[in-house]
Structure 1
Amino acid sequence: MIARPKGSLGEWVTDADYRSRWIREGMSGTARFTLAIDPSGRISECTITRSSGHAELDAATCRLIERRARFEPARDGAGNRVAGTYSNAINWKIPD
């Protein structure tokens, strides 16, 4: 079952989250993730399914999403709240 995000995905990770050291070291890439969402709509687990190539960016992806993302829980055929998942990616691009 798929959970639906509330609000704007663009607010989960922003340019302001980029650390100056990551910029200096040229760290960029796309971190793909899957979230486990419990029946109340809370994230119970974040798994990086494809690394950005940088462990720090991958860890920041889960940390920031777990803190900022909110979800409508998945529902079964009868409309009851059930555990679900959500998958997407964060593109870490060095800010201009």
Structure 2
Amino acid sequence: MKECKHHNCRTLIKRGAYCDRHKQTQSKYYNEQRKNDDAMKFYRSKEWRETRQEVLKRDCFTCVMCGGTANLVHHKVEVRTDWSKRLEMSNLESVCRNCHNKIEHYK
């Protein structure tokens, strides 16, 4: 048994990542994010992969929020909000998955 991954949900589950109450919410959010084709193409592009790697190296693979090991790069201003900032190094920060989930949850 493990806890649901939704922020502050303590429901115990046997399988998956989310309890029945939060599965729908997470799927809806995920599908909503997939709607913008240009953004999804960007995240699969060579220029993003290279920039992402540069940011992780710049930050020494360290989460800027908690100091843990970073494995994600977060856009301070989202790609969908301002396309021109998608590759600006000053708009990018290295974060761990837990901190990224917290950032996204509080939007």
Could you state the TM-score of these two structures normalised by the residue count of structure 2? 0.25
Structure with max Cα Rg: 2
Could you state the TM-score of these two structures normalised by the residue count of structure 1? 0.26
Q: Which has the higher contact order (CA 8 A, sep 6+)?
A: 1
Structure ranking higher in helix proportion: 2
